[in-house]
């Protein structure tokens, strides 16, 4: 399933509440590490159809940054049944993979 791009806090909350397993990629267009991770994240979204993959640009959205306590980009947050189950900060492929596998093991 392709990555869904969301730029609205209410829509993001709805998607997290409406799906069992969600990974959210918080990033910015000007971030080199975000650009490095994007194709990897896209590939994972096609490999794991039981997880909803979301991408949220935080360039101009202080509400999202504050709500999800984003301090580093990229930040990947893992949600299971609407509850945050983990987080990976930075361009660390093996940590992202570990988080994906954690969600699929449940």
pLDDT in tens, 8-47: 899 999 999 999 999 999 999 899 999 999 999 999 999 9
Distance CA 88, CA 23 (A): 10
What is the total count of domains within the chain? 1
Which of the residues are catalytic? 31, 34
Structural domain boundaries enclosing 26:
4-104
Could you tell me which of 94, 88, 85, 103 has the C-alpha nearest to residue 40?
94
The domain that holds 57 is classified in CATH as: 3.40.30.10
- Backbone φ, ψ for residue 50 (5° rounding): -90, 5
| pLDDT for the residue numbered 106 | 62
Span 49-103, pLDDT tens digits:
999 999 999 987 889 999 999 999 999 999 999 999 999 999 999 999 999 999 9
Q: Which has the closest alpha carbon to 8: 46, 52, 79, 63?
A: 63
């Amino acid at each position: 399933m392709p990555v869904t791009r969301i730029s609205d806090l209410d829509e993001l909350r709805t998607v997290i509440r409406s799906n069992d397993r969600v990974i959210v990629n918080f990033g910015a267009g000007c971030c080199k590490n975000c650009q490095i991770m994007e194709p990897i994240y896209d590939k994972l979204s096609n490999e794991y159809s039981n997880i909803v993959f979301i991408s949220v640009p935080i360039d101009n959205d202080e509400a999202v940054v504050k709500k999800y306590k984003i301090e580093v980009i990229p930040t990947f947050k893992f949600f299971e049944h609407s509850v945050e189950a983990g987080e990976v900060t930075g361009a660390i492929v093996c940590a992202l993979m570990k988080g994906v596998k954690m969600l699929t093991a449940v």
